[in-house]
Structure 1
């Protein structure tokens, strides 16, 4: 797991961070979910709850993705 050099925290802290511009929050969450789905990445309970909470503010959002072939992972 990648560590943030400045804080020493893991990438899991992404569940607590959002871009400073609120108008970009939905696009950020969509990209986050698309990446998880594309690469078949797991989300722990904390991350899942964060995503679900953020998604509530994006009722018109649509997530589209293509799965990465298994031999490309």
Structure 2
């Protein structure tokens, strides 16, 4: 019983370590791209603003009338 518990705990720890490594790798990549943008003279906030401005809102259509009327 104790061995099974140890196996489960060890697997869980390995999964957590793998997830943490992925998160750290992603953060390093983001930092690298941020530095590249700044080196090219582009502010990351300007990039976000430009991406936000390109979104267009969809016009909502009028509500459809009910098919069944309850009296």
TM-score by length of 1: 0.29
Structure having the larger proportion of residues in helix? 2
Looking at both structures, which has the greater relative contact order when contacts are Cα pairs under 8 Å and sequence separation is at least 6?
1
TM-score by length of 2: 0.30
| Rg larger for | 2
